[in-house]
Structure formats: C-alpha cells, structure tokens
Structure 1
Amino acid sequence: MPHPVSRLGLGLAAIARPAYITSGRASGLGADRDVATLRARTRELLDTGHAAGIRYLDVARSYGRAEEFLAGWLADRPEVDDVEIGSKWGYRYVGGWRMDVEKHEVKDHSLDAFTEQYAQSRELLGDRLGIYHVHSATLDTGVLDDVRVHRALSHLRDAGVRVGVSTSGPAQAEAVRRALEVRVDGEPLFTSFQSTWNPLEPSAGPALAEAADSGARVILKEVFANGRLAPGGDDGTPGARAAADLADRVGAPLDRVAVAAALANPWAWRVLLGPVGKGQLESNAAAAGWTLPSGVEGELARLAEEPEQYWATRSARPWA
C-alpha cells in the first residue's frame, strides 16, 4: 500500500471562494477574504501540501476561483510535474464573491453545461487535467441515464482523461452502483468515485468498496463532516459530541481521528483534506503517520447517523 501521506489529497472547495458551509471559517479565515488574499492563502496551502508529499489536487468549476488559483500556481511552479488534478462540472458558481447572496451555486447536468464547463476547465488546466467528475451526480438529475452526456464524456475517456462522478445525499450508494453500470462502446464510463464518507455518514462504504473491487478509484470527501468532526466544530449533536469525547479519551485531535478513520478503509485511493490555513493542513496531514488505537474504529462505527438525518443537518448549515 502507498505511504499514507500519498493517500491524501488537497481540495480547494473551502479556500477558493469567500463563503462555504464548513464551520470555523471565521477563526480560520477572518474577515479579509478578497480575491488576492485567498489566492495567496491557496498558494501557501499548495506549497505546504506538495512539500508534505500530497500529490492529488481537487477543484471544481463551482469552487469560486479554484481552477484559476491552481492554474496560476502551476504556471509559477514549472518544477511541479508530479501532481494529478481532478476537477468537476455540473455546478456553476453564482455567488459573485459575496457572502450575503441567496444562492452560491446552481446545479446543471445538461449536455450544454458539460460542453461549456469542460471548455473552461480545459482552458485553465490544459492537459494537466487527469480526472473529470460529474459534480454531485444523483439519480434524480437524470445525468446517470443521459446517453448524450455519456457519449460526450466517453470522448474524454478515450483521450486519456479519467471520467467519474462525485456523489452527495442519502442515496449515494445507489448513485455509485448506477454509475458502475454505465457502459459506452462496451467499456465502463465512470472509473472514479468521489463520495462523502465519515464516521457520521459511512453509508456509501459498501458501494464504494464494490467500485474499488471493479478497478475504479475511490476518493473520500467531507471526512470532517464539514467541520463537525474537527476541533471546535461540535454542533451539539450527539454524534459530534461523542466523537469529540472519544478523541479526548485517546489523546488525539479530532481531525486526526477523522482522517485516520477514513484512511483505515483499504479501498480508499485518496482521502481529501479541505483546510483554509497551513496549520489546519499540517494538523490534518499528521494523521497519515498515526493509527487508530485498538477498538476505536468500532466505537466510531457506532456514531453513524441515519443518512436522511445527516444530510438534513448538512443542508441546514449556513454559508459563512
């Protein structure tokens, strides 16, 4: 198995736009969130992550200026030729770099949206783009049954770009299994799966293990439950409180416990971190050299919430 640090990925969802649903942003970012400031913080995170051994970088069209920030960093670091980049299409960022808007992103899984957004991603990332995911593919949007979109995506697959889906919502497992069934010209179309998994929401685990067994890559996201499983992120729910108590008993920061729990899944190709500062990244990455004490994995498994409850709680989180 690869060195644990190499199994980590760095995601820019929380740092490349001024507002997001992760808790603790006020203390982590402060009030200064103009474009220049977040660009500089993103570059610091990318430098720190690369120096630590992280080689997978995750962005999306809807993550504010994430692709732009990453492209600028790559242009200024010509020696960095050993990273793999994944991006996503299917959401548009419409927040206008403001905190007080009603909508920050809009979902669109149409063929026109793919055509437009892939051109934008390709313009910024060029042939550095290695994986292109459908962003939050769900059964109800129809994207997993849209043969025109599948045909368009197959052109990327045939040109050497890995095609995949990210998933969200209480029916993640069903979406993963449906995506595994999609074939174009007799070959699997979707061979990368980026799904939410953490001790509070592990329900996609069996389907993701099946995906890995089929030869697909599995990337775990939201392993901190959008801050609920990070130091200071206790939102008063029983699961988050019990996780914090457990971390205190084992004498480790809660973020370390969360990352180690994700890494304990042998079918996980990468575990994504989404910090907003160098200190957070260093704390998260320290889990790569740490193993959950005996019995802790079982205790964490008992913290799982019903998927509908977990996703209702997530949906109610404010953008801040």
Structure 2
Amino acid sequence: MSDPAARLGLGLAAIARPAYITSGRSGDLGDERGVGTLRARTRELLDAGYAAGIRYLDVARSYGRAEEFLAGWLADHPEVDDVEIGSKWGYRYVGGWRMDAATHEIKDHSLQAFTEQYALTHELIGDRLAVYHVHSATVDTGVLDDARVHRAMAHLRDEGIRVGISTSGPAQGDAVRRALEVRVDGEPLFTSFQSTWNPLEPSAGPALAEAADAGARVIVKEVFANGRLAPGGGDGTDGARAAADLAERAGVPLDRLAVAAALARPWARRVLLGPVSVAQLASNVAGAELVLPSGVDDELAALAEPPERYWATRSARSWS
C-alpha cells in the first residue's frame, strides 16, 4: 500500500446512529440527528473518504442504519468497485433512534443471532461483503468455543468471505490468542482481527503482532480512545492531558498524532477512523502523512493506562 491513506479505513459507528460514546458529539453533530440528516452526513463522509484514497469501509448490525446507509451510497455509485467492506454480527441496535434510550445495543453471540444477522447483512450488502467479524468476541461469551457457530462461519470462509473477530475489554489479547487456535476442517477460521489499540490502551499489541505473524489481517480501532485522544476531547485524566501536551510540544493536532502512532505498528494493516464531519476526516487522514518525531513514540508508550482502568473509564462514558 504505497498510498498512506490506503492503510486507513472509514468506520460508520459514530455517524449512523444518533447516540454514541465519543466525546464532543454535541458540538460536532448538533441537535438535528434525524435519519435523513445522518444519512446525508454519512454520504458526505463516504464521498470524502473515497476521494482521499480510503478503500476499507466498516459497518455493523448494531451501528444504527450503517449498513443501510452504506448500501444506498454503493447503489448510487456503481463505479465504485474497489472498496473492501467489513461488517459484524453479535450486537443488535435497540435504541429506537432515541438519544435517551435506556439501552442502545444488546449482545448476542448465539448461532441464531448469527443466522438472523448475516441474512440481514447479505440482504443489504450482498456479494460486496468481504469481511465478517464476530462483534466484540470475548472468551467469556463462549463464541470462541461454539463449534456450531464456527461451522456456520466456515461456510462464509469457504465462499471467499474473510471471517474474524473484533475485540474489546481488558482481555483482548486472550480473545485474539484463543481465536487463532480455532480450526474448521483443518484450516484457521478467524483470519481478521479488529481490536482497540491506542497510546492509552496498547495491551493487545503483542497478541495482534502474533496474529499478523500467523498471516491474519489486523485492523486497529478506537485509535482516538473514543475522543480522549482528539482535539478538545480530553476528559481531564492524566493520560489525556499528557497526550494533549505532547501533541502541542510536537506541533501537531492530537488526532494526527494518534493516527500516526497506530500506523507505526508494523502489524497494523488498517487503522479505522470514525469521524462525524468532513473536517474531522480531513484532519484524521493527514495523520497518515505524519512521521512521528524522534522520541515521541517512547513518550506515547509511557501514557499507557492499566487495561482494567481504561475499560472501566470507557464503560462509564455516557451516550450522547
């Protein structure tokens, strides 16, 4: 991938539903978050991302109407035949397009959930689907030991769809390593891993490096720590303040520093962006051109938080 932007992906988690846990959404989106408004903004982002050279697009069943929005954009752009599309199953969006919903999504890693959700994904994305992940797979849910789910996903693998898992939580590394062990008909099942990595939470790095060494593809998500590592998104924690200070001393916007840090991981094939405006996207993409100044990577490494604390902080974030 000679074009730096070709290693980037555009995720629709934050733009295809009215509420999410990213900092600064009130200022970024305003109060108008009707379906029509967010569909239009999604189209603007897809247009801008494609023009910038981004060729990986990330959606999920639980991302509001992300698959629907993407399918509409693809239908209106028949000339776009060079994008790779990844989606996920395992969560259902139940927020009803309400900001004040008590619950926005429900996790279900059963075979029935896979069967139902894949049918819906295929109805919208069809043969354009290239990657299908178990959404936030963990050792605890049992999906990594469920032979019936593995057999069902192996049918997709055998049809040419790359299957894998996304991960969240303090035990991401355990989930990645367990998934690497899964075989169906003697062949590895999970060969794509979409995991959180950023300077505040780099703990999955060693396991992701092992996955890459085994021939799997690694996609990095949440490089901005849900806004904590974006300009104006700091939450007052020591790590966020230190990162902002480091970016100021380096003379670059914090989001670009976060993108460059993720792209500097040799095992990272893709780095996902999740902007809600074209201006945010442009700044994020500029991070692909940034070479980390000498010593900055070591300073970023010093910002790492204990995984349990990082994920407890993330879990406590409100939907806005």
**Which TM bucket (shorter chain)?**
over 0.9
1:26 maps to a residue whose letter is: S
User: 1:4-153 residue pairs with structure 2 within 5 A?
Assistant: 4-153=4-153
Query: Could you tell me how far 1:288 is from its partner in structure 2?
Result: 1.0
Q: Is residue 188 of structure 1 aligned with residue 174 of structure 2?
A: no
Secondary structure of the corresponding residue to residue 86 of structure 1: strand
1:185 maps to a residue whose letter is: D
Query: Could you tell me how far 1:234 is from its partner in structure 2?
Result: 1.0
In the other structure, the counterpart of 2:210 is 210
Q: What CA RMSD, in Å, does the superposition of the two structures yield over aligned residues?
A: 0.5
Distance in 2, Cα, partners of 1:19 & 1:291: 34
Distance in 2, Cα, partners of 1:24 & 1:78: 35
Query: Could you tell me how far 1:106 is from its partner in structure 2?
Result: 0.1
Query: Could you tell me how far 1:293 is from its partner in structure 2?
Result: 0.3
Secondary structure of the corresponding residue to residue 141 of structure 1: coil
Query: Could you tell me how far 1:3 is from its partner in structure 2?
Result: 2.3
Distance in 1, Cα, partners of 2:288 & 2:263: 8
Secondary structure of the corresponding residue to residue 304 of structure 2: coil
In the other structure, the counterpart of 1:222 is 222
Distance in 2, Cα, partners of 1:240 & 1:290: 20
In the other structure, the counterpart of 1:265 is 265
Secondary structure of the corresponding residue to residue 115 of structure 2: helix
In the other structure, the counterpart of 1:200 is 200
2:96 maps to a residue whose letter is: G
Give the share of equivalent positions with the same residue, in percent.
Answer: 81
Query: Could you tell me how far 1:146 is from its partner in structure 2?
Result: 0.2
Q: Is residue 289 of structure 1 aligned with residue 261 of structure 2?
A: no
Which structure 2 segments of 5+ residues have no match?
Answer: none
2:243 maps to a residue whose letter is: A
In the other structure, the counterpart of 2:241 is 241
2:75 maps to a residue whose letter is: A
1:274 maps to a residue whose letter is: G
1:133 maps to a residue whose letter is: H
Query: Could you tell me how far 1:290 is from its partner in structure 2?
Result: 1.1
Distance in 1, Cα, partners of 2:35 & 2:122: 22
In the other structure, the counterpart of 2:172 is 172
In the other structure, the counterpart of 1:162 is 162
Secondary structure of the corresponding residue to residue 40 of structure 2: helix
Moved segments of 4+, more than 3 Å? none
1:288 maps to a residue whose letter is: A
TM-score, normalised with respect to structure 2: 1.00
Query: Could you tell me how far 1:263 is from its partner in structure 2?
Result: 0.3
The C-alpha deviation readout for 1:286-311, integer Å capped at 9, x for no partner, is 01111110000000000000000000
In the other structure, the counterpart of 2:312 is 312
Secondary structure of the corresponding residue to residue 22 of structure 2: coil
Secondary structure of the corresponding residue to residue 140 of structure 1: coil
2:197 maps to a residue whose letter is: W
The C-alpha deviation readout for 1:21-72, integer Å capped at 9, x for no partner, is 0001011100000000000000000000000000000000000000000000
Distance in 2, Cα, partners of 1:78 & 1:165: 29
1:51 maps to a residue whose letter is: A
Question: How many residues are aligned here?
Answer: 320
1:143 maps to a residue whose letter is: V
Query: Could you tell me how far 1:245 is from its partner in structure 2?
Result: 0.2
Secondary structure of the corresponding residue to residue 140 of structure 2: helix
1:210 maps to a residue whose letter is: E
Distance in 1, Cα, partners of 2:4 & 2:212: 18
The C-alpha deviation readout for 1:188-228, integer Å capped at 9, x for no partner, is 00000000000000000000000000110000000000000
Query: Could you tell me how far 1:139 is from its partner in structure 2?
Result: 0.7
Distance in 1, Cα, partners of 2:70 & 2:10: 11
Distance in 1, Cα, partners of 2:176 & 2:56: 21
Distance in 1, Cα, partners of 2:138 & 2:2: 31
Secondary structure of the corresponding residue to residue 268 of structure 1: coil
Which structure 1 segments of 5+ residues have no match?
Answer: none
2:254 maps to a residue whose letter is: L
1:242 maps to a residue whose letter is: A
Query: Could you tell me how far 1:2 is from its partner in structure 2?
Result: 3.4
Secondary structure of the corresponding residue to residue 96 of structure 2: coil
Query: Could you tell me how far 1:312 is from its partner in structure 2?
Result: 0.1
Distance in 2, Cα, partners of 1:2 & 1:260: 15
